[in-house]
Amino acid sequence: MPELPEVETTRRGVSPFLLGQQIARIEVRQRGLRWPVPEALALLEGQVIEKVSRRAKYLVIETAMGSALVHLGMSGALRILTEVQAPGKHDHVDLVLAGGQVMRFTDPRRFGAWLYVPPGEQHQLLGKLGPEPLTEAFDGQRLFELSRKRQIPVKTFIMDNAVVVGVGNIYANEALFMAGIDPRRPAGNVSQERYLKLAEAIKAVLARAIEQGGTTLKDFTAADGKPGYFAQELKVYGRKGLPCPACGAELREVRIGGRSTVYCALCQR
């Protein structure tokens, strides 16, 4: 599933093609995505795209008549077409620009979304989200205060979008390793000092992943439109049984919340 760094890389990739351009039409070939694609998206036709932003894992394409809220789901991708190409089986939505370019949404599993947000309003999906992790609104003090008396594993805690958005499974593994915290430890048993360190680790891991995604694939007119991933720099995720990069001990794997969780029993406590 695309995580926050991949979604941010997607935003950066498509933005130059969209900003300041007029939407000629929005062609919806499959309305049965995660939620039904609303007819109201047609209100954006004829409008100029003023901003392309991101909130958590949602892309927001803003115009004076409202916004399109786009989620890539588990398998979705966006790419820019500069020449006419017949849509494939999984090409569900085209945002056609007046200049002839097309931003095409492809989603084999159909867990993605295209929704409409009226001007001046916030969609209910965004209403209860926590702060963005790379802003000053997120820090270790927030983690410490929200975690008191919480007995859920600290990994589950930092993956809660009400606490902080965008810390998906891959980056939770990596940040906890960087901070030296056992992912199984109850959230309420982590000290303030260690949460300060964890917040900085989350920021560092996500920032580096965004940087890597932005340099691995900048061409969103490529075949699949998917950004590069952070796999070449992962320290623990997906490395069960391999040596810990810090101490050499064998990395262990457990399931937390149904998700693969890899950690070092010596380095993380």
pLDDT, averaged in runs of 10, over the chain (269 residues): 86 94 98 97 98 97 98 91 92 97 95 97 95 97 98 98 95 97 98 98 94 57 58 87 98 96 98
In a domain, 133, yes or no: no
Which one-letter DSSP state was computed for residue 204? H
Identify whether residues 152 and 82 lie together within a single domain. Answer: no
Q: Which residue has the tokens 């901003």?
A: 51
Q: Dump pLDDT digits (tens) for 201-249.
A: 999 999 998 888 754 444 455 545 666 656 668 999 999 999 999 999 9
Residue type at 171?
Answer: Y
CA distance linking residue 157 with residue 194, whole number of Å = 14
Residue 132 lies in a domain: no
With 0.75 as the threshold, say if the pTM is over it.
yes
Identify the DSSP state of 32.
B
The verdict on residue 135 lying in a domain is: no
Q: What is the CATH number of the domain that holds 64?
A: 3.20.190.10
Domain identity same for 237 and 204: yes
Span between the terminal Cα atoms of the chain, in Å: 28
Q: Which of 266, 148, 268 is nearest to 201 (CA)?
A: 268
**The CA-based dihedral angle spanning residues 146, 148, 154, 158, taken in that order and rounded to the nearest 10 degrees:** 0
For the stretch 227-232, contacts whose Cβ atoms lie closer than 8 Å and that sit 24 or more positions apart, written own/partner, are 227/6, 227/9, 227/10, 227/13, 228/9, 229/6, 230/5, 230/170
Domain ranges, residue 122: 4-126
- Enumerate the active-site residues: 2-3, 57, 259
What is the per-residue pLDDT for 2?
78
- 122 shares a domain with 17: yes
- Binding-site residues for DNA sit at 90, 109, 150
Q: How many domains does the chain have?
A: 2
CATH of the domain at 235: 1.10.8.50
What is the DSSP secondary structure assignment for residue 36, as one 8-state letter? Answer: B
